[in-house]
Structure 1
Amino acid sequence: MKSILIDLTQLPLERTGVGIYAVNYVRRLQAQAGQMRLHFLVLDDDVELLRDVRAIPNASAIVLKASLFRRFLFRVLLEQVIIPALALAKGIDATHSLHYSFPLLSFGRFKRIVTVCDMSFFLFPELHVPAKRVFFQFFIRRLPKVEGLLFISESTMNDFMRFFPGCEAERCVIPLGTDLARLQAPADENIVGELRRRFGIDRFILYVGTIEPRKNILGLVKAFERCAPAHPDLKLVIAGKLGWDYDSLLQYINASEVRDRIVLAGYVNEVEKHALLKSALLFAYVSFYEGFGLPVLEGMAAGVPTITSNISSMPEVAGSGAVQVDPNNSEQIVEAMRMLLDDPEARCRLVAAGHAQSRAFTWENMTAISVDFYRKVLGGRDVAARLGHLNE
């Protein structure tokens, strides 16, 4: 029986992109793992992941102290010393790192598989904190030396190969998914009512994501300012935790003539996010770059008319289920907003198209492809055959 060590210690407790991917991957592994022996590294403060890991047959949880291993130096020690030692001691066949960095030394004794979520550290280095930029660029440059690479979109894989055309690692695209049943279900009316009271909202455009330059929130705010006079009861809700380099954005919002109609909701959990999506008039996510664009998929699945960007991975995710605009063209963003705000029938058509598009992306498919990729890297079946079967 082949054994895989999956490192979950890189994940923050406040779930955003990679965290949502990891949680849903772990939950679907219960049905997909088959004859593999899975070992998980989990921090003791991550109660949700610990519960999900312990529900998987043939799985073991190696629980580490968060008070130590959420610190950078201990994080490096874990990845570069403890994980290789565990792999050698337990006869691990492969390790899987979910977020760029990985054990640099395997001594030829175990395979290394890494998920690549985006290439923004190379494409837009100026949009990252310098320390993170240096750290992640260091590891990304060494990814061609690992045995297996998983990419969350075709766009991300193509971007990677532009920088590393000689990469010989096994490669596979694993499009992310979403919980269709949950997102399409009605929201809890008590939660909806509480959020409406807390933020003073009724009709609103919604953004959900980290507050950082790459997300083009300033462009969204400026487009809202131009639409606001024609819709005096409309608000813009910006939900998400503060990332970095957001001071100029906050200053602009505070000086805006429609400041009282822009709501900074902060981080929202999955239940609150669901309630906001089900209540929003429009969902707008006009980022400059995404490795996948999970919020776009969630917006379509939840049945809210969605506006997104026409670059990087977002067209791959949105298809005909969302209005696509050039994020660098403010006029296009404004026109998309005005068209949907003024045309209820267009909104209805887009909701139907979004539902249809979102059904092509499921966590079950992503997990099945990933597990087959483990087998391929370890000398088993061809993952391409499995991918073809899932898309039939």
Structure 2
Amino acid sequence: MKIGFDAKRAFNNTSGLGNYSRAVIQSMSENFSEENFFLFSPSEKNKTGFSVPANCELILPNGISKSLWRSYGMLNEWNKLQLNIYHGLSNELPFGLNRSKAKKIVTIHDVIFKTHPEFYSVIDRTIYEIKTRHSVANADCIVAVSRQTKNELMKFYRVESEKIKVIYQSVPAHIISTVSSAEKDLVKKKYSLPDNFLLHTGTIERRKNLLTVLKALTRIKNPPALVVCGRETPYLKELKTFLENKKNISVQFIHNSSNIELNSIYSLAYAFIYASLHEGFGIPITEAATHALPVITSADSAMAEAAGDAGILVNPKDEEQIAAAIENLFSDSTLRNKLSDASLMQSRKFLAKNSAQELMNLYREIC
């Protein structure tokens, strides 16, 4: 088969949609080397250092506006290449799809702009709405990264259940479970990490709800230290303002750790917390599971799906409930060990080869 991927995010986004795009492209090329893959990107720029796999061909614009090419012009390339399938990996498909016979698949990661519009500007909500409505209406099949996303697509866009296939996102390739003692020692020293800390990873933004976690920590007599790893946004200022004069809690922010260092940080943590208000799935939870970390997360269906039996589920708006979960986990080693074992078992659901096989089964089915 000739299979095309929207590869813009693979070359331009260091997290989120970029991780998903790279994981799909890498796992498909590694597990199905007999197939022909084409990576469509509107620019030669490579901000992520992603290397094009041996059995993939990079397709770039030729004498046309990059934005117009991605939305309209690339269909000419589809026809020249006689693509069997085009898979939009980041919530969108180009316009003018009637000009190609290729089967169209789109992965929808979330519709948070519908469930929580307060986190988006009017302009962004409008753009996301146009792109999502067009994509789900014109795709031959939709891949949802969680059951929650599938249910929300059915609710907001009246998509039939049979048109949506749930295929979980695999753990990013840079997340590995084996970290040497020497590597961990170096990272612990570099960042002056405490012992037995509580870890949170991901962009430090309002939706991740870290202020409520900080408030929960103030309710604990002897709270564990919290380490927060992620890209900063203006929300960080609000968190630091809250922390002023809060002498009883220890919080450390790390913004520029490398992927290699991140594995060490996961390995050094005692437990993981991810009390986000809403997620399409919750990849940081699966990353933590790879390192056998017990998880405290929101009783939101997508995050509950990601955590499985390894999670202590809480109301993300309830400080007392979050505080109680932290206290229980840090005071009960038996519970911690039980959830750690369950977390490692849960991580096996998110192996790249499994996701790749499910995608290939789908490609073969619709062709």
- Per the normalisation by structure 2, the TM-score is 0.89
Give the Cα separation in 2 of the matches to 1:244 and 1:79: 31
| Matched residue, 1:112 | 104
Q: Does residue 1:98 correspond to 2:89, yes or no?
A: yes
| Matched residue, 1:17 | 16
Q: Does residue 1:239 correspond to 2:229, yes or no?
A: yes
Q: Is the 8 A contact 1:289 1:312 kept in 2?
A: no
Q: How does 1:5-44 map to 2 (within 5 A)?
A: 5-11=4-10, 13=12, 15-33=14-32, 35-42=34-41, 43-44=43-44
SS at match of 1:107: helix
Give the Cα separation in 2 of the matches to 1:41 and 1:258: 52
Q: How does 1:43-122 map to 2 (within 5 A)?
A: 43-46=43-46, 50-51=50-51, 53-56=52-55, 59-63=56-60, 76-109=67-100, 110-122=102-114
Closer, same or farther: CA 371–168 of 1 in aligned 2, 3 Å = same
| Matched residue, 1:207 | 200
SS at match of 1:317: helix
| Matched residue, 1:251 | 241
Partner amino acid, structure 2, of 1:86:
E
- 1:263-318 Cα offsets, whole Å, 9 max, x none, are 11114332121111100121101111111111111112202221111113111121
Give the Cα separation in 2 of the matches to 1:32 and 1:219: 43
Give the Cα separation in 1 of the matches to 2:282 and 2:175: 19
SS at match of 2:176: helix
Closer, same or farther: CA 314–178 of 1 in aligned 2, 3 Å = same
Residue in structure 2 matching 1:272, options 248, 254, 261: 261
Partner amino acid, structure 1, of 2:207:
R
Give the Cα separation in 2 of the matches to 1:168 and 1:337: 38
Give the Cα separation in 2 of the matches to 1:50 and 1:194: 25
Q: Is the 8 A contact 1:80 1:102 kept in 2?
A: yes
Give the Cα separation in 2 of the matches to 1:241 and 1:304: 22
Identify the range of structure 1 (238-247 vs 91-100) with the bigger mean alpha-carbon deviation.
Answer: 238-247
CA shift, 1:34, in A, is 5.5
Give the Cα separation in 1 of the matches to 2:14 and 2:130: 25
Residue in structure 2 matching 1:176, options 154, 169, 179: 169
- Per the normalisation by structure 1, the TM-score is 0.84
SS at match of 2:273: strand
Give the Cα separation in 2 of the matches to 1:377 and 1:288: 35
Closer, same or farther: CA 167–256 of 1 in aligned 2, 3 Å = farther
- 1:143-177 Cα offsets, whole Å, 9 max, x none, are 22222211111111111101122458832111122
- Count matched residues: 364
Q: Is the 8 A contact 1:95 1:113 kept in 2?
A: yes
Q: Is the 8 A contact 2:271 2:294 kept in 1?
A: yes
- 1:26-66 Cα offsets, whole Å, 9 max, x none, are 22112333553211124434376652x3323xx2122579x
Give the Cα separation in 2 of the matches to 1:188 and 1:133: 46
SS at match of 2:349: coil
Residue in structure 1 matching 2:128, options 125, 129, 136: 136
Identify the range of structure 1 (337-346 vs 171-180) with the bigger mean alpha-carbon deviation.
Answer: 171-180
- 1:4-40 Cα offsets, whole Å, 9 max, x none, are 2211113465532222222222221123335532111
SS at match of 2:215: helix
Partner amino acid, structure 2, of 1:205:
L
| Matched residue, 2:209 | 216
Partner amino acid, structure 1, of 2:112:
S
SS at match of 1:320: helix
Give the Cα separation in 2 of the matches to 1:259 and 1:240: 23
Aligned residues with identical type, % of pairs = 23
Q: Is the 8 A contact 2:308 2:346 kept in 1?
A: yes
- 1:197-239 Cα offsets, whole Å, 9 max, x none, are 3345333211001111211111111112223x414xx421111
Give the Cα separation in 2 of the matches to 1:118 and 1:313: 10
Q: Is the 8 A contact 1:241 1:266 kept in 2?
A: yes
Closer, same or farther: CA 108–197 of 1 in aligned 2, 3 Å = closer
Q: Is the 8 A contact 1:320 1:357 kept in 2?
A: yes
Closer, same or farther: CA 133–226 of 1 in aligned 2, 3 Å = same
Residue in structure 2 matching 1:303, options 286, 292, 302: 292
Closer, same or farther: CA 32–345 of 1 in aligned 2, 3 Å = same
Give the Cα separation in 2 of the matches to 1:171 and 1:118: 13
Q: Does residue 1:127 correspond to 2:124, yes or no?
A: no
Residue in structure 2 matching 1:372, options 342, 361, 365: 361
Unaligned runs of 5+ in 1: 379-392
Partner amino acid, structure 1, of 2:83:
I
Q: How does 1:273-288 map to 2 (within 5 A)?
A: 273-288=262-277
Give the Cα separation in 2 of the matches to 1:27 and 1:89: 24
Q: Is the 8 A contact 2:12 2:48 kept in 1?
A: no
| Matched residue, 1:318 | 307
| Matched residue, 1:387 | none
Q: Is the 8 A contact 2:209 2:275 kept in 1?
A: yes
Closer, same or farther: CA 260–266 of 1 in aligned 2, 3 Å = farther
Residue in structure 2 matching 1:160, options 149, 153, 158: 153
| Matched residue, 1:384 | none
